[in-house]
Amino acid sequence: MDEEEVNMRGRLSQITKTSFVPSSSSLSASARVRSGSLDHSFHSFPSSTHSPLIEVRTTRLNGQSRTPSPHFSPLLGTQLPKSDMMTKRFRSTGIYPSPSPELIERDDGSFNKKLLQAEERLISKELKTKSEGKGRFIRIVEVSARDGLQNLPGPPVPTELKRELVERLLDAGVRNIEVGSFVRGDWIPQMADTSKLLPTLPSLTGKSLPLGIPSPPSSRPQTPESENGSLINESSLKHIIDNTIIPSSADQVHFPVLVPNMKGLENLIKLQEQHTANGGGKLTDEVAVFVSATEAFSQANNHAPLSKILSSLPPVIDKARSLGYRVRGYVSCVITCPYSGPTPPQDVIDVAMKLLEMGCYEISLGDTTGEGDPESWRKVWRQCEGRGIDMSRVACHDTFSLALSSIISLLPYGLTSIDSSLAGLGGCPYSPGATGNVPTEDVVYTLHKLGYETGINLDKLVETGNWLSSSLKLRNESRVGRAIWARRKSRELKENQSNGLIPKGEHQGGSNKDISMQGQETEDGM
């Protein structure tokens, strides 16, 4: 034991006996403070053998000493690693396709120009995630055209814009797109044109359409180095979809529409008859019915008691199935209700079981308020699964930023279908503060990174999300969408400058940001 440590331990012993040692000249000799029965005293403990004393406050309440929180008091004998050790431990490297201007101007071959053409940053080995998904296919049900638009204020979204949205989603590889709702136009004005939209959509209902072209490295983070440290061939960075492990039905196109009651179904049937008479094909092969897991939300959303809604659905489902429609069931407020608070899982089970018994081919559980977290979702999952309910379908809203983590937590349980909305668009008009759905771009990026398949081209999806946000003049709520789009625009700007199309130091069109990005932070350059 060296002399410095002996002196330090001696000082510590003295501190314990006296309960107070001034650590600076700013402390007066009467630093002990008394207020009523409270007694505050200061203690000093060494945080390491090479650092000064650290003060810790101990509070006495009615003569009894209360131990300070371990989060605010140092542990005796502990010592932080030196700064160079911290650097080595947490250092991670990456290769960026857009280097500094100094590197761009150099033409000595010291920088691999192929990397400049890369679609995205290639993440280093230290940051590469394991392919836990092993190619398992996850179906994405895109709800932006219905659930995403239904709550927008202001004038109705043009039907032509909705048609283009559906076509762009198809081009990106999305095959299940909820396109509208046969509800009363005075209740949900944004859905009043569903009968006009359906006949304008591509005649692809129930048909197979090749899945989206595999996304480039931007959506599949990988290392650019082989095991021996050398750069691997650029083509090997591209992810190739293994069609042998994707269900044969994954490429079938479906345009589900919401029908709240028999009146809504009859409107769809009438529209189909008119379309067939004009030589048209099948508009849709799927309808969806919905019911709340709570009485309070049923009164607000359906304007009727829960018992009445449930009793009205069997004839709707029976008639739809007799006409060749498959029926999907939605259960809302499965985690919490905006009016009655936490939802008992048993209530969710009761409603879901009744929908299955009525003939729904699947049930989508919706966290309408967006308050779900991984643990609450697992609780509902386990209890529903214990009753024999197929728990492979789930829908999460992202009001409190926990939807994506909840989805990830359910993947090991066998989750196979996820409802999401482009650019995080959406929200329920009867759930105050519910900001929207989990962004499809974020879901697809995460699934791809974890090794799951979606058949979706992420870059085309991102392009569509930013186009939609720009067209609606709304903020793009997808962090993945904003990040990839900002990098793409930055890269395009640099390419135009290097080709002499734009003088260096100037932005194309006065700004290199999309209208949906103006005034917003991005992850560009992180």
d(CA 420, CA 439) in angstroms, rounded, equals: 6
d(CA 343, CA 365) in angstroms, rounded, equals: 12
Active site residue 396: no
Closest listed residue to residue 138, CA positions, set 336, 388, 410:
410
Quick check: helix, strand or coil at residue 38?
Answer: strand
Which helix or strand (DSSP H or E) is residue 486 part of?
helix 479-498
Instruction: For residue 367, count CB atoms less than 10 angstroms from its CB and return exposed for 0-12, middle for 13-18, buried for 19 or more.
Output: buried
Backbone angles phi, psi at 351, to 5 degrees: -70, -45
507, two tokens:
């932005």
281, two tokens:
């094909």
d(CA 159, CA 201) in angstroms, rounded, equals: 11
Neighbour count for residue 28 (Cβ, 10 Å): 8
111, two tokens:
């920088």
Closest listed residue to residue 176, CA positions, set 98, 251, 274:
251
Which ranges in 147-261 belong to alpha helices (H)? 159-171, 194-197
Quick check: helix, strand or coil at residue 97?
Answer: coil
**Whether the Cβ atoms of residue 459 and residue 219 lie closer than 8 Å to each other:** yes
Closest listed residue to residue 179, CA positions, set 271, 246, 247, 248:
271
Catalytic residue among 360, 384, 396, 428: 428
d(CA 274, CA 198) in angstroms, rounded, equals: 12
**Whether the Cβ atoms of residue 112 and residue 231 lie closer than 8 Å to each other:** yes
d(CA 525, CA 55) in angstroms, rounded, equals: 40
Contacts (Cβ under 8 Å, ≥6 apart) of 160: none
d(CA 502, CA 485) in angstroms, rounded, equals: 20
Closest listed residue to residue 206, CA positions, set 326, 97, 307:
326
Q: Cα separations (Å) of 99 from 96, 111, 438, 492?
A: 6, 9, 33, 14
**Whether the Cβ atoms of residue 215 and residue 132 lie closer than 8 Å to each other:** no
- Tell me how far apart the terminal alpha carbons of the chain are, to the nearest angstrom: 47
User: Would you name the residues annotated as active-site residues?
Assistant: 428
